[in-house]
């Protein structure tokens, strides 16, 4: 029993916040599945560097919007590590568009990745969690899902939906001792912010009480906390990790 290692699946883990999660969970002794979509080279490189350090990790490909691929990712994870104890629904995209210019395809893609992806992955994870009466799910939303962002209506709406999913699911799964929580990051320096101009980044930093962008590691630490025993009585919550940008 003392040797038991928890297994976690992290989607979108080849870079950014997901990669920081893979690293920190591996360092904390978890068995980690590095879920990736298209970035095979980066995912395999991360897998190799963590294996070299003696950690238990495996990179597994899946587009979270494809149910069959998600099912296969979970089967492969179970074949390597046994049951799945925790899940981080981190995969995401961003896009700046005037609402009036937005296409149906752009709207659907946002909801498919953020909401349907979380739906597919969570259903698979629950196969183990319900029978073992334990588990943790952390959904990565955004502060824009809490307060809305101009020119990101589809992003904000889909991230708000993820908060609703978190709260409802926490109520449904609480009796099975499965916790479901949400992280709402503020402005975090990852590839997702690459398309944002230096000028806008500066304005965002000035609007952040801590006067800077956050790091992927700072989000990963909060996700680790919510996934761990330290958060054993926390469920259905939205934890803002945003330098004070959104308070209350
Ligand atoms: P990122 O672009 O570096 O990482 C996103 C990851 O999601 C990538 O690895 C990408 O391949 C993966 N992904 C996208 N579509 C996928 C799909 N269909 N199937 C599987 N994987 C897919 O950005 P990040 O900043 O690390 O973002 C991680 C999460 O944090 C996202 O959900 C994002 O919305 C959220 N977030 C980021 C910020 C920020 O400022 N960076 C702020 C709030 C919330």
Are 146 and 202 in contact by the 8 Å Cβ rule? The answer is: no
C-alpha–C-alpha distance, residues 117 and 92, integer Å:
9
**pLDDT at 3 (0 to 100):** 80
Determine the distance separating the centroid of ligand 1 and the alpha carbon of 5, expressed in angstroms. 27
C-alpha–C-alpha distance, residues 239 and 177, integer Å:
20
**Range of the structural domain that residue 107 is part of:** 7-240
Residue 100 gets which letter from DSSP?
A: G
Does any ligand 1 atom lie closer than 6 A to the CB of residue 8? no
Q: Encode 74-97 in three state secondary structure.
A: HHHHHHHHCCCCEEEECCCCCCCC
Q: Token digits for 175?
A: 């009796």
Q: Token digits for 184?
A: 């709402």
Which residue shows structure tokens 């297994």? 7
**pLDDT at 2 (0 to 100):** 58
**pLDDT at 29 (0 to 100):** 97
Q: Token digits for 207?
A: 């609007």
Are 36 and 14 in contact by the 8 Å Cβ rule? The answer is: yes
Structural domain count, the chain? 1
CATH code for position 25:
3.40.50.720
pTM, whole model, 2 decimals? 0.98
One-character DSSP codes across 142-181: -HHHHH--TT-HHHHHHHHHHHHHHHHHHHHHGGGTEEEE
Are 186 and 222 in contact by the 8 Å Cβ rule? The answer is: no
Determine the distance separating the centroid of ligand 1 and the alpha carbon of 172, expressed in angstroms. 27
Q: Is residue 245 part of a domain?
A: no
Q: Is residue 246 part of a domain?
A: no
Determine the distance separating the centroid of ligand 1 and the alpha carbon of 93, expressed in angstroms. 5
- Residues, the chain, total? 248
Q: Is residue 247 part of a domain?
A: no
Per-residue pLDDT of the chain (248 residues; tens, 9 = 90+): 458 999 999 999 999 999 999 999 999 999 999 999 999 999 999 999 999 999 999 999 999 999 999 999 999 999 999 999 999 999 999 999 999 999 999 999 999 999 999 999 999 999 999 999 999 999 999 999 999 999 999 999 999 999 999 999 999 999 999 999 999 999 999 999 999 999 999 999 999 999 999 999 999 999 999 999 999 999 999 999 999 999 98
Does any ligand 1 atom lie closer than 6 A to the CB of residue 14? yes
Q: Which atom of ligand 1 is nearest to the CA of 19?
A: 26
Q: Is residue 2 part of a domain?
A: no
Q: Which atom of ligand 1 is nearest to the CA of 18?
A: 26
């Amino acid at each position: 029993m003392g040797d038991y290692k928890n297994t976690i699946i992290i989607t979108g883990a080849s870079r950014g916040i997901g990669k920081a999660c893979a690293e920190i969970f591996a360092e904390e002794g978890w068995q980690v599945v590095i879920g990736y979509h298209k970035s095979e080279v980066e995912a395999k490189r991360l897998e190799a560097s963590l294996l070299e350090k003696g950690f238990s990790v495996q990179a597994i490909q899946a587009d979270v919007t494809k149910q069959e691929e998600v099912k296969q990712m979970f089967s492969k994870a179970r074949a390597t590590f046994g049951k799945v104890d925790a899940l981080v629904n981190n995969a995401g995209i961003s896009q700046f568009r005037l609402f009036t210019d937005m296409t149906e395809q752009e709207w659907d893609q946002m909801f498919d990745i953020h909401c349907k992806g979380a739906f597919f992955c969570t259903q698979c994870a629950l196969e183990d969690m319900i029978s073992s009466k334990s588990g943790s799910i952390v959904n990565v939303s955004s502060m824009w899902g809490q307060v809305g962002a101009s020119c990101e209506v589809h992003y904000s709406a889909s991230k708000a939906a993820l908060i609703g999913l978190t709260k409802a699911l926490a109520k449904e799964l609480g009796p099975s001792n499965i916790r479901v929580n949400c992280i709402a990051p503020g402005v975090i320096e990852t590839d997702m912010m690459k398309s944002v101009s230096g000028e806008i980044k500066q304005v965002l930093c000035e609007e952040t009480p801590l006067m800077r962008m956050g790091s992927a590691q700072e989000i990963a630490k909060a996700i680790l906390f919510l996934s761990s025993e330290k958060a054993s009585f926390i469920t259905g919550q939205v934890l803002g990790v945003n330098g004070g940008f959104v308070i209350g």
